Amino acid sequence: MSPLEMTADAAFARVDLLNLASMVEPGSRVLDVGCGDGSLLRLLAEKRSVDARGIELSQSGVNLCVAKGLSVIQGDADTDLVYYPDGSFDYVILSQTLQAMRQPRVVIEHMLRIGRRAIVSFPNFGHWKIRLQLLATGRMPVTKNLAYTWYETPNIHFCTIKDFVDLVDDMGATIEQASALDRFGRPVEMTLPRSLWNLFGEQAVFVLSGK
Amino acid sequence: MTRHHVADPDKRNEAIEPSSLVAHFGADEPLALESGESLGPWSIAYQAYGALNADKSNAILLCHALTGDQHVANINPVTGKSGWWETMVGPGKPYDTDRFFIICANVLGSCLGTTGPASLDPKTGKPYALHFPVVTIRDMVNAQAKLVDRLGIDTLFCVAGGSMGGMQVLEWAASHPDRVFSAMPIATAAKHTAQNIAFHEVGRQAVMADPDWHSGRYLEEGTRPEKGLAVARMAAHITYLSEQALHRKFGRNLQERAAPTFSFDADFEVESYLRYQGRSFVERFDANSYLFLTRAMDYFDLAKEHDGVLARAFKGSKTRFCIVSFTSDWLFPTSDSRAIVHALNAAGASVSFVEIETDKGHDAFLLDVPELFETTRGFIDSAARARGLAVPMRRADA
């Protein structure tokens, strides 16, 4: 990977985080599920003055978070969300992790139970490049953002924006806000119909609330 | 029967005249115990490192484990060895003596200068022995709180400790929440399990089965239940290590011999090691203290008075917690730490939790485990920032 590409990736990651952060009301209580090295939590704590908490699977990630002064628990979202009481957070965030969950639906249900709102961002498998790759090569798509072969990917539950909206409807949850980012990290024009988001959005972010 | 002398007559009796700082509390300041009894006069021996700042906001209380003592970061007067947590405590170390005022007190019921069964009962002028009241983790913490009062410290910046020390940390946070700014319970549990109680009972029975124990009156009799206490220590020591660590250190290696001797000599290195552990322990520890302290751990169950709901013990807590467990610790397994984490979450408390990958077993908290140092440093620095204390620039701050 060239330095230029790394910068572009870092910039994209930054845009994604800023986009997420902009959806959080200042001063609220936030739980970031799968918080990695704590970048989003730190951004939220610094820019939005939130009470930031996290869950992270990897010991190295937790150590980095603790060193940043964040309250982060080593744990598994698939099994540990059950221990959080109802309504204990304003927002529960799942950033770029939905596709790695063993039970995405159960995880989202817990998020809606624990938080007033759930914010879910995920890579859109309905993006035209992915569709084109599968059509043209007949193989599982491997892209810059989804750079794993099928047999070693941690991403076991991909979905498209349409699939996600169907799941939200099925759960009876409400979409409070939604946005999609194209492959340059620019927001896809909000006036476009959802089917075009599904085609041009490389990433999607949804803010949900429960029944 | 062989009579053992109580101790080397040239050696200072650390139980009665400790070479530590001591806070004395007279008969007019008795300690009210959980059992309903009252202990007084009583004393608490402690070591202090670093300097207390002007607004007394930089004090860290370290709580020692079952057979530990207050000699955290200085040469131990009994064993002549380094302090038990010199890896963690000192200038520039995670518990930094350049920045913090660090206190460690010998626990109530122990034998290094704080009142315990080897101390003299003022009523009889003889050692308390079994007339010493059964004390609990809460009693130990209340005794420490009296010391902290006397030092003029209102809120401790941090209370930290492993194993039985971790139990004291949890008790501090639950019963004195406003006095604990941050807490680090390491390799511990909110209650002692049936298995843990069972191991302790084996140890106690070994001590009591030794004829030199004399129903606890061995100090008066001029003997010491060395064999029983050594067996107790040997059994306990196995629980502090992991199977992998025993295998890594000893395997089936023979001790300075080419072949088994077809006898009950210590043929195996692991046998020789355990015998050494047993022998060296009896030279430094009082058998009755071992009985009382194991009992205190057995009685510990923080959730009990909250109808079994641990979260209620931490309701409304403003303390910042950092919980640490070790993968190969089967005495206080990660599931015990997770139970604490889940309770703190349910109580809405600020909590971090790290499970550190190591094959060193329960003893890992005392050993050279870099991940423990990093986690502690990160947690202490961030808590210091939140408390308005100076934090040196580190790479992680960049």
In three-state secondary structure terms, B31 is: strand
Query: CB A66 to CB B352 under 8 A?
Result: yes
State the Cα–Cα distance between residues A57 and B164, nearest whole angstrom.
Answer: 28
- Is B356 in CB contact (< 8 Å) with chain A? yes
Comparing CA positions, the residue from B34, B30, B68 lying closest to residue B140 is: B34
- Is B379 in CB contact (< 8 Å) with chain A? yes
Quick one: pLDDT at residue B368?
A: 93
| A47 Rama class: left (phi>0) / alpha (psi -120 to 50) / beta | alpha
Q: What is the mean pLDDT of residues B79-83?
A: 96
Cβ atoms of B6 and B224 within 8 Å: the answer is yes
Window B:312-331, CB contacts with A under 8 Å: 320, 322
pLDDT, tens digit, for every residue of B358-374? 999 999 999 999 999 99
Comparing CA positions, the residue from B139, B172, B152, B171 lying closest to residue B59 is: B152
> Which residues of chain B have a CB within 8 Å of the CB of A62?
352-354
State the Cα–Cα distance between residues B22 and B25, nearest whole angstrom.
Answer: 10
Quick one: pLDDT at residue A136?
A: 95
- Quickly state the pLDDT bin for A172 (edges 50, 70, 90): very high
Mean pLDDT across chain B, nearest whole number? Answer: 94
Cβ atoms of A142 and A148 within 8 Å: the answer is yes
User: Which chain A residue shows the shortest CA-CA distance from B347?
Assistant: A85
- Quickly state the pLDDT bin for A5 (edges 50, 70, 90): very low
Query: CB A69 to CB B346 under 8 A?
Result: no
Q: What is the mean pLDDT of residues A62-75?
A: 89
* ipTM, 2 dp: 0.81
State the Cα–Cα distance between residues A147 and B337, nearest whole angstrom.
Answer: 36
Q: Minimal Cα–Cα distance from B184 to chain A, Å?
A: 12
Quick one: pLDDT at residue A143?
A: 78
Q: Minimal Cα–Cα distance from B323 to chain A, Å?
A: 9
Quick one: pLDDT at residue A6?
A: 43
For A71, which of B350, B381, B396 is closest by C-beta distance? B350
> Which residues of chain B have a CB within 8 Å of the CB of A65?
352
| Domain B197-295 sits in CATH 2.60.40.2550 | no
User: What's the CATH fold of domain B21-191+301-397?
Assistant: Rossmann fold (3.40.50)
Q: What is the mean pLDDT of residues B113-142?
A: 97
Chain A / chain B CB contacts < 8 angstroms:
70
State the Cα–Cα distance between residues A163 and A157, nearest whole angstrom.
Answer: 11
Query: CB B353 to CB A75 under 8 A?
Result: yes
Whether A63 has a pLDDT exceeding 80, the answer reads yes
pLDDT, tens digit, for every residue of B197-251? 999 999 999 999 999 999 999 999 999 999 999 999 999 999 999 999 999 999 9
Task: Specify the residue for token string 């994209």.
Answer: A12
- Quickly state the pLDDT bin for A16 (edges 50, 70, 90): confident
Per-residue b/e over A146-177, b at no fewer than 16 CB within 10 Å?
beeeeeeeebebbbbbeebbebbeeeebeeee
Q: Minimal Cα–Cα distance from A86 to chain B, Å?
A: 9
Q: Minimal Cα–Cα distance from B57 to chain A, Å?
A: 19
Catalytic positions of B are 163, 329, 362
Q: Which range (B94-103, B158-167, B338-347) has the least confidence? A: B338-347
| Residue A73 buriedness (CB in 10 A; 0-12 / 13-18 / 19+) | buried
Cβ atoms of B294 and B117 within 8 Å: the answer is no
Cβ atoms of B165 and B157 within 8 Å: the answer is no
CA angle centred on B284, ends B283 and B288, rounded to 5°: 100
Query: CB B382 to CB A68 under 8 A?
Result: yes
Cβ atoms of B162 and B186 within 8 Å: the answer is yes
User: What's the CATH fold of domain A3-209?
Assistant: Rossmann fold (3.40.50)
Quick one: pLDDT at residue A183?
A: 77
Whether A11 has a pLDDT exceeding 80, the answer reads no
The DSSP element (H or E) to which B248 belongs, if any, is: helix B243-249
For B352, which of A71, A83, A88 is closest by C-beta distance? A71
B19: Cβ contacts below 8 Å, ≥ 6 apart: B12, B77
Q: What are phi and psi of B299, to 5 degrees?
A: -75, -10
Quick one: pLDDT at residue A60?
A: 87
State the Cα–Cα distance between residues A164 and A137, nearest whole angstrom.
Answer: 26
Q: Minimal Cα–Cα distance from A79 to chain B, Å?
A: 12
Note the residue count of chain A: 211
Comparing CA positions, the residue from B151, B191, B188 lying closest to residue B61 is: B151
Q: Spell out the domain ranges in chain A.
A: 3-209
pLDDT, tens digit, for every residue of B164-197? 999 999 999 999 999 999 999 999 999 999 999 9
> Which residues of chain A have a CB within 8 Å of the CB of B182?
none
pLDDT, tens digit, for every residue of B261-296? 999 999 999 999 999 999 999 999 999 999 999 999
Interface test with A, best of B158, B334, B353 (most A CBs within 10 A): B353
Q: What is the mean pLDDT of residues B16-27?
A: 96
Q: Spell out the domain ranges in chain B.
A: 21-191+301-397, 197-295
